[in-house]
Amino acid sequence: MPRGRKAVLPRTLESDYPAWKGAAGRELKDQHGIDATAIAERIWMQFYVRRLNPKDAADQAEMVYRSTRPTVPSSPKKQ
C-alpha cells in the first residue's frame, strides 16, 4: 500500500526558543521600556509557537502588559 507524503517535522522549540526570546525581550525593553520578565513564560511561548518575529512578539507583549496592569491614577490637581 503506497504511503502519502512524509510529514514535515516542526522545528525544535528547544533549540531556537532561547535566542528568539532574547531578541524579543531586547526589543520589548528597547521599544516599550518593559522588562521581559514582566511577561509570563506561557505568553512568550504562545508568541513563539505562532511564529511571530521578535518585533511583533514585543508589540504583542506590550499590549498584554498594558491590558493586565491597572493604570496608575493621576494625583488630584491642586487648586
C-alpha cell at 5: 507524503
Q: Could you report the per-residue pLDDT of 11-67, keeping only the tens digit for each?
A: 555 569 999 999 999 999 999 999 999 999 999 999 999 999 999 999 999 999 999
Going by C-alpha positions, the residue among 73, 6, 16 that lies closest to residue 48 is 16
Domain residue extents for the chain = 13-68
Which residue intervals of the chain are DSSP H helices?
Answer: 13-32, 41-49, 54-68
